[in-house]
Structures are given as structure tokens and as C-alpha cells.
Amino acid sequence: VCTAASASAFAPQPAFKVSTALNNGKGAGGMFDTRDPETMDHEDPRKSISAAPSFEEYLKSRGGDAAAAAPAAEAPAAAAPAPAAAAPAEPAAEGGFTYGEYDEVMWDNAAKIDVYNKWDPSTPRSTRNFNPFETWEGNSPDASGIYPGENRYKDPIRPDISYAIMLEEKAEAEERNASPKAGSEPGCAGCRS
């Protein structure tokens, strides 16, 4: 039985015919190439290709102005130096939900220390009242106190980091852990865990 199975491994394989035809605009998956600028009406509307709008029509449909967009595209903007300390932005309200004070702003150690200093462990946890250094399942929260995998999590704007900065932050974290805020025990109202 073993010899029959091993012999089939060396048997000639059937030749497969590789088609080099363009298939009249159809790709390998049977779908039409959407890069084809010509429109196509098919009895099945799912297979039809409609005419694409011009760039100006696209901008108008989005509420933009094509005339204003054209000069901006012609002149490349010079790279402005990043501000040393960005001011906290106004939070974006989304259906009654308010993002954190540093949403869409650099979420660096100075911002985290500011949020930590404002954090009240006895008050229920919210997007404006959380410990930015608290981890949950090995993850750190975003600028609104939301962890990866949770609804409304946003990847924060992170700064460049170096080994020297990491050592400074480690020393600051050890100092903070040596004298934690009063009432910040696990399970307190302002904690995730």
C-alpha cells in the first residue's frame, strides 16, 4: 500500500492550459476590469459598469470646490515644523459621545501626565477621567481611555521615541508607581479593572 501511494507522487501531472487571452475585459475571477473607461450596460445590473464622474463632479458631490482644490494641488506645501507642545483640541461629539481632551493631538508622555494629574480615581471612569498608564490585557488606552478592540478606539498620534526618552519615561513611571494616587487601587471607580 505504501509503494502505491509513493509511486503516484512521481507520476506525470496533467498539463493545464494557461490562457493568455484578454477575455474581452473579464479578469480571472470573471469580473470586468473597472479600469476600463468605457461604460457597459448588462441585463444583470451587478455586471454593468457606469461612467465614472469627473474629478470636479466628484468634489461637488462631496461638497468641495474643484477650483479651490486645483491650486492647492499645483503648489506643494512646505513642511512646517511640528509645534513643541500642541494645545488640547476640542473633542469631537459623535451621537452624544465625547472624545478625550487629547483626541487628534500628539499623545505623548507629557499629555499622558496631564491626563493622569486630572484623573480622579473616586469618580467613574470616562473619556475625560481615566488613568492613561493603566493597561488592560497588555494594551494601553488611546487619548480617550478606550482600549484596542473596543468600540470607538482611535489609534493615537504618537511621537518619535528614542532609547534615551524611553529611559526617562521608565524612571518617571517607577516614581509614579512608588507613590500612586490615593484611591487608585484596582477596582476603584476610575479604573478599568
pLDDT one-digit tens code per residue, 53-64:
777 887 788 776
Rounded Cα distance, 121 and 134, in Å: 12
DSSP SS3 for 56:
helix
- For residues 82-97, give the mean pLDDT: 54
Which residue type occupies 46? R
- Helix H or strand E segment including 97: strand 97-98
What pLDDT score does 190 carry? 85
What pLDDT score does 95 carry? 65
Rounded Cα distance, 27 and 34, in Å: 10
pLDDT one-digit tens code per residue, 14-57:
665 555 555 566 666 666 655 555 777 888 877 777 777 777 88
Residue 71 φ then ψ, to 5° = -65, -35
Rounded Cα distance, 129 and 125, in Å: 5
What is the model's pTM?
0.51
Q: What is the chain's mean pLDDT, rounded?
A: 76
What pLDDT score does 158 carry? 92
